[in-house]
Amino acid sequence: MFLIYLRIFVVGGVICLCGQVILNTTKITTAKILVLFLLLGAILEVSGLYKYIIAFGKTGATVPITGFGSLLARGAIENASKHGIIGAVSGGLESITLCLSTAVFLGFIAGLITKSKTKK
């Protein structure tokens, strides 16, 4: 059981470490890194490699933004085979609905609990 948790921690940590290294060594903004990782997850899903990363790292691979890109691509691929181009768009959106709803709800709760500060 401990080794499963260790694998989850290592895989999630490596993904985050890659983002931090890119942030520290280049002038790429955080928004561009976010998009880069989202696209990387989608590309790895389309190529069939991300399923192996998920099999090894479990939630360590699905929770970061690369997992979100993978989920988006997987839904688009599954529905595209059934309904064509419209299915690709709707399938991607269907697969991420729970993620987006949760993020909006928790962001709202965090906004109620915390006090915002303006930068000086």
For the chain, percent of residues with pLDDT exceeding 70:
98
Q: What is the pTM of this model?
A: 0.79
Q: What pLDDT is recorded for position 12?
A: 94
Please choose, from the candidates 23, 8, 110, the residue with its C-alpha nearest in 3D space to the C-alpha of residue 61: 8
Q: What pLDDT is recorded for position 98?
A: 87
Q: What is the mean pLDDT of residues 106-116?
A: 90
CB 68 within 8 A of CB 40: no
Please choose, from the candidates 72, 11, 14, the residue with its C-alpha nearest in 3D space to the C-alpha of residue 41: 72
Question: pLDDT (tens digit, 9 = 90+) per residue, 5-52?
Answer: 999 999 999 999 999 999 999 999 999 999 999 999 999 999 999 999
Q: How far is CA 8 from the centre of its chain?
A: 15
Mean pLDDT of the chain: 91
